């Protein structure tokens, strides 16, 4: 005779969809830690410098890192699926050079953006084809194309600078897309917003919605967690990876157009060294280098933290070499600290 099913036995085998909410777990979320870092960055810099919180200074500061932040959104998706694109800065340079020659030929500002995005698309498709069709490691491929794209720029351009651009194109990068306006409420006003930062905000929302609320996003997490299992589950792994490389190229081309419009000139060393900064933004944002873990919110917060740290150091006349040392050390710390905690937990469990 079967034993009666009691309420106690039913509760014993109840499986929750997610773990119960605990304050300790919420406070230890990486996004919460980044918010704390962001607040500390603002507080420390505002105490050290009187001009840090000036709205126009902050607006200029956002324009200095927005182009890198745009690329970081696409890089986050690549690292999420266990790939990487180290040629992004070289794509920026190649796209910027193409824009310069197109501007000299009399092309319109809208077409200059099309040229930059188109060059980035072709470069991204080239990277994606080598990685997905020929099964080559992405880090090896993009190191090679980094040298290839940068080398093409240096060979074609040489030591000359491209400086002839239509004024409407320059206005897009050098003026505020949204001007500061005061309202009838004393404490409420609309701050100045550069075009590049506005584009970054819009793209961050779009990337966040796609990654965290759609089937495509769930497929990307599945690929990053286990690409072999994802392939046997019917997910088009190589097709999605190819698209992500194309997307990375498009974002790099767009960033190249915005950067060219902001600087008003172009040399072959433009955007050199951006690879480290962009990867640091992504890893600091909580995207695991092993794939399958990460969020766009974390990347967004990491962009603000690094951008404001750089801005604070610059207005306090800290040399750029010190900034580079800080970023490199921060990248190593972000990668190594979680591993150290895992080993400590394993050691305690072994005891």
Number of domains in the chain: 1
Report the pLDDT value the prediction gives residue 2, as an integer from 0 to 100: 54
Contact 131, 230 (CB under 8 A): no
Does the pLDDT value for residue 260 go beyond 70?
A: yes
Q: Is residue 20 part of a domain?
A: no
Report the pLDDT value the prediction gives residue 28, as an integer from 0 to 100: 65
What is the domain range of residue 91? Answer: 50-318
Mean pLDDT across 19-28:
64
pLDDT > 70: percent of the chain: 88
Does the pLDDT value for residue 1 go beyond 90?
A: no
Report the pLDDT value the prediction gives residue 154, as an integer from 0 to 100: 96
Q: Is residue 270 part of a domain?
A: yes
Contact 157, 97 (CB under 8 A): yes
CATH number at residue 125: 1.10.3470
- Counting other chains too, the contacts that 137-141 makes at CB distance below 8 Å and 24 or more residues apart are 138/78, 138/83, 138/84, 138/85, 138/245, 139/84, 139/86
Highest mean pLDDT (candidates 7-11, 122-126, 289-293, 305-309): 122-126
Nearest CA-CA partner of 127 in 261, 33, 230, 244: 244
Mean pLDDT across 198-208:
97
Report the pLDDT value the prediction gives residue 190, as an integer from 0 to 100: 74
DSSP string computed for 67-135 = HHHHHHHHHHHHHHTT---TTHHHHHHHHHHHHHHHHHTT--HHHHHHHHHHHHHHHHHHHHHHHHTS-
Q: Is residue 182 part of a domain?
A: yes
Q: Is residue 347 part of a domain?
A: no
Q: Is residue 339 part of a domain?
A: no
Q: Is residue 186 part of a domain?
A: yes
Q: Is residue 85 part of a domain?
A: yes
Report the pLDDT value the prediction gives residue 344, as an integer from 0 to 100: 79
pLDDT digits (tens, 9 = 90+) for 2-21: 555 555 555 555 555 566 76
Contact 240, 82 (CB under 8 A): no
Q: Is residue 278 part of a domain?
A: yes
pLDDT digits (tens, 9 = 90+) for 310-330: 999 889 888 877 877 877 787
pLDDT digits (tens, 9 = 90+) for 118-148: 999 999 999 999 999 999 999 999 999 999 9
Report the pLDDT value the prediction gives residue 133, as an integer from 0 to 100: 96
Does the pLDDT value for residue 34 go beyond 80?
A: yes
Answer with the residue of higher pLDDT: 69 or 177. 69
């Amino acid at each position: 005779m079967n034993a009666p099913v009691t309420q106690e036995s039913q509760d014993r085998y109840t499986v929750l969809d997610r773990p119960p909410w605990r304050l300790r777990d919420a406070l230890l979320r990486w996004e919460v830690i980044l918010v704390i870092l962001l607040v500390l960055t603002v507080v420390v810099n505002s105490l050290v410098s009187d001009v840090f919180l000036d709205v126009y200074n902050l607006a200029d500061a956002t324009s200095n890192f927005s182009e890198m932040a745009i690329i970081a959104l696409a890089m986050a998706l690549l690292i999420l699926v266990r790939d990487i694109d180290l040629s992004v800065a070289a794509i920026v340079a190649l796209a910027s050079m193409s824009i310069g020659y197109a501007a000299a030929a009399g092309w319109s500002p809208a077409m200059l953006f099309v040229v930059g995005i188109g060059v980035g698309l072709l470069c991204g498709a080239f990277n994606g084809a080598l990685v997905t069709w020929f099964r080559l490691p992405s880090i090896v491929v993009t190191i090679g194309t980094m040298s290839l794209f940068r080398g093409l720029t240096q060979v074609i351009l040489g030591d000359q600078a491209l400086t002839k651009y239509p004024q409407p194109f320059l206005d897009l990068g050098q003026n505020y897309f949204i001007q500061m306006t005061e309202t009838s409420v004393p404490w409420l006003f609309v701050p100045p917003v550069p075009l590049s930062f506005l584009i970054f905000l819009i793209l961050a929302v779009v990337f966040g919605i796609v990654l965290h609320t759609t089937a495509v996003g769930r497929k990307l997490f599945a690929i990053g967690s286990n690409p072999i299992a994802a392939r046997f589950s019917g997910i088009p792994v190589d097709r999605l990876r190819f698209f992500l490389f194309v997307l990375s190229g498009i974002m790099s081309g767009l960033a190249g157009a915005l950067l060219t419009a902001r600087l008003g000139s172009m040399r072959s060393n433009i955007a050199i060294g951006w690879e480290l900064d962009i990867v640091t933004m992504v890893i600091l944002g909580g995207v695991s280098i092993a794939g399958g873990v990460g969020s766009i919110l974390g990347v967004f917060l990491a962009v603000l933290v690094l951008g404001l740290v750089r801005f604070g150091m610059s207005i306090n006349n800290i040399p750029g070499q010190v900034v580079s040392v800080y970023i490199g050390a921060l990248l190593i710390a972000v990668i190594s600290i979680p591993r150290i905690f895992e080993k400590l937990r394993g050691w305690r469990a072994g005891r």
